[in-house]
Amino acid sequence: MVAPLKVGLAGLGTVGGSVARLLQKQESNAPESNVLATRCGRPVQLVAVSAKAESEMHALGIPGLRFVPSPTALAADPEIDAFVELMGGEGDPAKAAITAALSAGKPVVTANKALIARHGVALARLAETSGVALNFEAAVGGAIPVVKTLREGFAGNSFDRVYGILNGTCNYILSRMESEKLSFADCLREAQKLGYAEADPTFDVEGFDTAQKIAILASLAFGVQVDPDAVYVEGISSITPEDLEAAAELGYRIKLLGVAVRTEQGIEQRVHPTMVRLDSPLAQVMGVTNAVTVDPAGFSPITLVGPGAGGAATASAVVADLADIARGLKAKPFGRPTEALIGSRRAPMQRHEGGYYIRLAAVDRPGTFATIAKHLADEHISLESIVQRRRNGEPHGGSSPDSAQTPAPVILVTYATTEDAVRKALSEIKNRGVIAGNPQVIRIEKN
Ligand code: NAP
Ligand code: HSE
């Protein structure tokens, strides 16, 4: 057998622990059952780890591992052939350790989308200069091989749109809120317990994690420099059970989508809660599952679906990246030389075109509807449907005298219009005092 690929791993949390156990499981198999070694033509052997405390290494129960307190020292350690970074965070120690490994001519595998989204171009340039791989399949879509699909599987295609459900935590929360009628806070706690959420779950629920992932996919699909600041971002924390229920009644389901689409103004990158039609593939994707739809120019879209977070799913992608290194494969990190990547700029969302779901709390007095209709008409917004819902607890057949002053929920679904028109109309409607609070606005994605 050829010499093993000796691996150093920094970070023994949810993903790091699963990677260590997966590598150990293969190594402890009889040679004929070590599928990883058979497929790579050589064993892939974990030899050294770095964690905040040596006790974390002992807790793994893997014999023969060496402990290196400093991740950066481990990254450049002469004994290792490849370095795996699973500590997380867009700065040091992850950045310093990856830089040290690449500078020492060692290939790197990471699941760190925050770091790749922020510093991916610089690190890819360093990997090119050193002539080694920088692999980050696990950074997007968990176990789904979407990076490889875009980078290699569609090497000869151009794309109109790449979009999908890219955050397992958010999809889990929205699914559980809808199916089990649980509160947002309870669902988030569950997702944290299951190891899906980021160390700071704000990154998940406010859309930043999805923004980092769509920025990476946009770079692979459209050849723009990866840049999370070029992404328009809204999270799911304002989505209410009422919106989920109304969406279902209207034939939609609400998903947090990341979308990168070619427009006349350039590549629009955006993350926001989105209405998708109930009969679309993305609407069927529930729980921690992720899905990415790739829309290549010239033929029908392809949707990849699979577990998007959690130790086992993510470890699968990390080990697949290590397998490529063991086999001697070395793709350009973003599928083309870094010098061929073009600059990106933030999407002008005012020019976004599409349908909108708008929920208003309409003040119950004569003329309210006429005022709302006038300002929508002024902006050339036409309506596909209008639903006036009863106030909570209100009986059929009209309002009770007590509830007459309570605003009533009104839901509007528009035909295609622009973001600019919707914002202007809603601002005028609010200024006229015919609605209470702020309107809820959810974009509808064609699919
Ligand atoms: P995690 O459970 O928090 O694990 C990170 C580990 O790194 C922790 O054990 C942490 O120790 C350790 N660490 C932090 N700083 C360190 C340092 N200076 N030296 C050594 N160890 C250090 O996070 P995770 O969920 O495994 O995520 C790891 C990476 O994978 C992140 O980039 C994440 O975005 C990415 N990812 C995660 C998933 C998922 O489903 N969890 C999926 C895809 C990608 P302490 O706990 O003591 O701070
Ligand atoms: N926190 C992330 C998620 C992990 O929930 O999708 C996978 O990248």
**In this structure, which topology does domain 147-305 adopt according to CATH?**
Dihydrodipicolinate Reductase; domain 2 (3.30.360)
Tokens at 294, concatenated? 């790739």
Query: In the predicted model, is pLDDT for residue 297 greater than 90?
Result: no
Q: In the chain, which residues fall in CATH 3.30.360.10? A: 147-305
Multiple choice CATH, 350-444, 3.30.428.10, 3.20.20.120, 3.30.70.260, 3.30.230.80: 3.30.70.260
Environment class of residue 216 by beta-carbon count within 10 Å: exposed (0-12), middle (13-18) or buried (19+)?
A: buried
CA neighbor of 62 nearest in space, from 20, 29, 33, 26: 20
Q: Kindly indicate the confidence band of residue 265, based on its pLDDT and cuts at 50, 70 and 90.
A: confident
DSSP state of 330: -
Query: In the predicted model, is pLDDT for residue 254 greater than 70?
Result: yes
How many whole angstroms from 184 Cα to the centroid of ligand 1? Answer: 24
Q: Kindly indicate the confidence band of residue 32, based on its pLDDT and cuts at 50, 70 and 90.
A: confident
- Answer for the pair 302, 253: CB distance below 8 angstroms, yes or no: no
pLDDT at res. 1: 58
Which pLDDT tens digit goes with each residue over 93-129? Answer: 999 999 999 999 999 999 999 999 999 999 999 999 9
Least confident of 14-23, 38-47, 290-299, 322-331: 290-299
Q: Kindly indicate the confidence band of residue 256, based on its pLDDT and cuts at 50, 70 and 90.
A: very high
The set of long-range contacts for 153-157, using a CB threshold of 8 Å and a minimum separation of 24, is 154/294, 154/296, 155/335, 157/296, 157/297, 157/298
**Partners of 387 in the β-ladder:** 411
pTM above 0.85, yes or no: yes
Multiple choice CATH, 5-139, 3.40.50.720, 3.40.50.880, 3.90.320.10, 2.60.40.420: 3.40.50.720
Q: Which residues line ligand 1 (CB under 6 A)?
A: 10-16, 50-52, 71, 86-88, 93, 111-113, 138, 142, 195-196, 198-199, 309-310, 314
How many whole angstroms from 343 Cα to the centroid of ligand 2? Answer: 27
Query: In the predicted model, is pLDDT for residue 29 greater than 90?
Result: no
- The most distant pair of C-alpha atoms in the chain lies apart, rounded to whole Å, by 85
Q: What contacts 427, CB < 8 A, 6 or more positions away?
A: none
Q: In the chain, which residues fall in CATH 3.40.50.720? A: 5-139
- Answer for the pair 425, 434: CB distance below 8 angstroms, yes or no: no
pLDDT at res. 105: 98
Closest ligand 1 atom, CA of 71? 19
